[in-house]
A and B are shown apart, each in its own frame.
Chain A
Amino acid sequence: DAGVIQSPRHEVTEMGQEVTLRCKPISGHNSLFWYRQTMMRGLELLIYFNNNVPIDDSGMPEDRFSAKMPNASFSTLKIQPSEPRDSAVYFCASISGTGGDYGYTFGSGTRLTVV
């Protein structure tokens, strides 16, 4: 398994533009999480899905952020319009949660810079 795959690895965009981050979880994992990492706030949970259904989106900072999981193998995090304060590394993680190892598997992250 190639692990959790995120794209793009780096994204530089201008303020006001729409940004879409993508994540492919590990096959068979039924839960998916989006985290944002910044120097000031560390790792923050934005939203998570269980069996493709959003369970808790209380961490989504504002309406400019939205996330979808149309099927078990794909999720997107969209920011529209983007702002400089959105600059961060966005991580996706997946977990099986059906027994045994409950450790998360993280993707390599998308480093977003909004100028």
Chain B
Amino acid sequence: AQRVTQPEKLLSVFKGAPVELKCNYSYSGSPELFWYVQYSRQRLQLLLRHISRESIKGFTADLNKGETSFHLKKPFAQEEDSAMYYCALSPLSSGSARQLTFGSGTQLTVLP
């Protein structure tokens, strides 16, 4: 069984400060990790996934298999980054539907 843990339900930082949202996972196989973002009362949107190794809106995340972590980072937070962030895991396998398991989410508030 797979499990995703986001230890912080709430996180507040000041504008311009670095931000790190923590995500740890447990899964016996090879996982694919994602970060989703949900702005106030909007749909969840894919922010980034580890396979693509891209940076979106200044956010990056590195998969650390040794620590089973996939923390989301941004060097300089902006007020528009305030949102709920979900870490998610999917088995990295071909074939049938790839079920996503979500963490409980972290509400990020960037203060002016």
Contact = CB atoms under 8 A, between A and B. Distances in A.
Nearest to A50: B97
A94 B45 CA distance: 12
Interface string B27-42: 0000010100000001
B45 A95 contact: no
Interface residues of B, number: 20
Contacts, number: 56
A106 B44 contact: yes
Interface string B95-106: 011111111110
A3 to B, nearest CB: 8
A102 B99 contact: no
A48 to B, nearest CB: 6
A105 B99 CA distance: 13
Interface of A: 30-31, 33, 35, 41-43, 45, 48-50, 55-56, 91, 93, 95, 97, 102-109
A104 B86 CA distance: 13
| Max count, chain B CB within 10 A of own CB: residue among A35, A41, A45, A103 | A103
Contact of A104 (B42, B100, B103, B105): B100
Given A103-B34, A107-B43, A42 B102 contact: yes
